[in-house]
Amino acid sequence: MAVACQCSAVCAATMVALVLAAAIATLTSVITAQEPPTAGSNCYRKCVPGDRRLCHFTFEVHPYQTMSRACHNCPRNASDCSLPDCVPGDGVQRRIIAINKQMPGPPIQVCEGDTIVVDVKNLLPDGGLTVHWHGLTMLGGIRDGIQYPSTPHMDGTPGITQCPIHFGGSFRYTFYALNPGTHWYHAHTGFHRADGVLGAIVIRQPPGKDHATGLYDYDLPQHTMVIHDWLHMPTEDKFVLRHHGGGDDFPESMLINGLGPHQNIAATPTSAAMPYKRFKVSPGARYRFRIINTGILNCPITVHIDEHQLTVIATDGNPVVPTNASSVVVYSGERWDVIVKTENTKVGTFWISFMGGVDCAPSSAHQFALFEYEQVGQFYKTPAYVKQQDGQQEIPDSVLLRHMPPKPVYTEAPPAGVQVNSINSACYDDLICVAGLRSPVPMPEVLRTPRANFTFYLAFEMRQIHNAHFYSRAFYNFESADEDQQIPTPQVNNLSFVGPSTPLLLSGGRYDTRVCSLENPIPGRSCHDDYCECLHMYHVPLGATVEMVFIDEGQHGDENHPIHLHGHHFWVVGMDRPNDVVGAAITRDEVINLDRSGQLMRNFYHPVRKDTVTIPDGGYTVVRFIADNPGYWLMHCHLIFHSAAGMEVVFKVGEVTDIPPSPPGFPSCGNFKYHGL
């Protein structure tokens, strides 16, 4: 259901956009030739006004393996686990996909206003590849009097903004660092992200522009936490086993910056000696930590540091009014920035816990890292140790950590104290949901109206229907399968997304796949009862205000869909679970009726801004944004098994004539049928 207000409102918003465009056109300062390219690894620096750089990276993406020969004597000699080209993982060998033989891939650490150039070469013999820059909207704008163009063709979404890079081919991504904060990049083709094609992006600002200036002393690259739920088999195999063989969708393990022993010692005893990721600090300081959940499955991760408080200051690159908490929950695709003080705390080494919930619970998937004080290069409480006679050169973690308290026991329960972004929680007491946080930046006035120009009610649900991709009417239909073999289908408003063969940005508005939506149904089909698939797409005018009400109907299990929107950030104005009981269902129609009766919660006073947000199971989340970025933008559940099976939708913003032209020589692709025979 899409509700459009009077045209005058849209026209007014469009006029604002036109006036802004005219103002930009009058600027004399535009993007011109910059300094010679700087190696990307050298672009981390203190950010100062006027120092803009062109930061160049080269990514070679290829098949690889954890615990390869490059790891030598890892983990017996812990330093071998950090050797060039060694990807230790959790100590279990498996096939992965790596960038430059690294996992995570090389971090991109730049300053606001820099130009980022990434040459991606696909060395995967079995498939195409694209890379998406999660959190970067590709929208141009003005920074320090400089006009930057929009770059929608660089979003890295196959079928939407570009063709996949073929085996042996390369693609140069060129875009601008205009979204400060903590972001990340990842493959957007198949299951490549799940198998290792991912890495951190941090865009810093000069002191004074950052809203958190003065709240911390150190913001170090080594204090970025990249969390990843981890499988012991290639992800495509896990997906096929789940959907065609009745397998589960639970991860076996979890990694922190590509490292960490498998916690199920009985299952993999040899991985017990794997080192933990260490985060080093000194006493008497305030450190900024950047937490990124790159996970693929329904595993919200609770982050907690023993005997230390977290102060939340940002989410998805957007500032948050500082909020003290004992722990923060991070869903797939989300980023949270926190400050940790080492003032007035006893020095030593402390456990950082990463407890996976929901689908991590059956396998108790979790991980730990070390929060380690140091002083003048020496660790506190280092125990005495005698070198072994078999050539072992180092003190193993098993000895180094003997002085520490026992590791916390796995639990889904939140630690004592305040928790931010709690799982399936209404906003109350010590459980603070996203809608309960505040931003130091007010939401634009044009969005603070009773109704937006367009409102979309979007139900994200796992539906119990016959899906011909996974079942056969003639031989093994869905309805006759045993209950534990009935794999639900992820859909949005009873529709599964099917992408086009020619990228939408290159289509000129002519689509080779059927377009549909709840308001534009497929003729002759009852999608409420039958499986339906199409190019699920909505169109909004450039400059319109848009409200989306995300609904998790809660009909099948505890899902917690984290929803990511490309090309825009949105303000989270509401979130609730009307029944506030896990497993209690609510329908899309019931949410619409709540809204019509004035019972849908909305807060317009300084809501936080994000690009990825969860929906409580059996509840709703309300977001608003200005459709100011012309193009085709994907919105999808960030759980990879759900998006791969169709839980996606596209928003077309503006008309074809509003979209910036393709770069010269931009590659195209499409279907082919030979009619000569």
Q: What is the mean pLDDT of residues 432-448?
A: 97
Residue 482 pLDDT > 80, yes or no? yes
Question: Please, are residues 299 and 227 in contact by the beta-carbon 8 Å criterion?
Answer: no
Of 135-144, 325-334, 426-435, least confident by mean pLDDT is: 426-435
Q: What is the structure's pLDDT at 399?
A: 62
Rounded Cα gap, residues 631 and 542, in angstroms: 9
Q: What is the mean pLDDT of residues 61-71?
A: 98
Q: Which residue type, as a one-letter code, is found at position 156?
A: G
Of 8-17, 146-155, 471-480, least confident by mean pLDDT is: 8-17
Rounded Cα gap, residues 347 and 238, in angstroms: 43
Residue 580 pLDDT > 90, yes or no? no
Of residues 393 and 86, more confidence is placed in 86
Q: pLDDT-based confidence at 1, cuts 50/70/90?
A: low
Q: What is the mean pLDDT of residues 575-587?
A: 83
Of the CA atoms within 13 Å of residue 408, those in its CB half-sphere come to 24
CATH number of the 34-204 domain: 2.60.40.420
C-alpha closest to that of 225 among 295, 173, 164: 295
Question: Please, are residues 107 and 220 in contact by the beta-carbon 8 Å criterion?
Answer: no
45 phi and psi angles, rounded to 5 deg:
-165, 175
| Burial degree of 624 (CB within 10 A; 0-12, 13-18, 19+) | buried
Residue 331 pLDDT > 50, yes or no? yes
Tens of pLDDT, residue by residue over 517-566, are 988 999 988 999 999 999 999 999 999 999 999 999 988 777 789 999 99
Same-fold call for 34-204 versus 211-423: yes
C-alpha closest to that of 274 among 260, 288, 285: 260
Domain ranges of the chain: 34-204, 211-423, 442-658
The angle subtended at Cα 243 by Cα 498 and Cα 553, nearest 5°, is 65
Q: What is the mean pLDDT of residues 202-211?
A: 95
Q: What is the structure's pLDDT at 269?
A: 74
Q: What is the structure's pLDDT at 555?
A: 81
Of residues 521 and 388, more confidence is placed in 521
Q: pLDDT-based confidence at 396, cuts 50/70/90?
A: low
Residue 30 pLDDT > 50, yes or no? no
Question: Please, are residues 373 and 287 in contact by the beta-carbon 8 Å criterion?
Answer: no
Q: What percentage of the chain reaches a pLDDT higher than 90? A: 77
User: What's the chain's average pLDDT?
Assistant: 90
Rounded Cα gap, residues 554 and 38, in angstroms: 50
Tens of pLDDT, residue by residue over 630-657, are 999 999 999 999 999 999 999 999 999 9
* CATH class of segment(s) 442-658: mainly beta
Tens of pLDDT, residue by residue over 356-371, are 999 999 999 999 999 9
Q: What is the mean pLDDT of residues 22-44?
A: 59
Of residues 490 and 424, more confidence is placed in 490
Tens of pLDDT, residue by residue over 181-201, are 999 999 999 999 999 999 999
Rounded Cα gap, residues 522 and 510, in angstroms: 18
Return the CATH fold of 211-423: Immunoglobulin-like (2.60.40)
Q: pLDDT-based confidence at 267, cuts 50/70/90?
A: confident
Q: What is the structure's pLDDT at 393?
A: 53
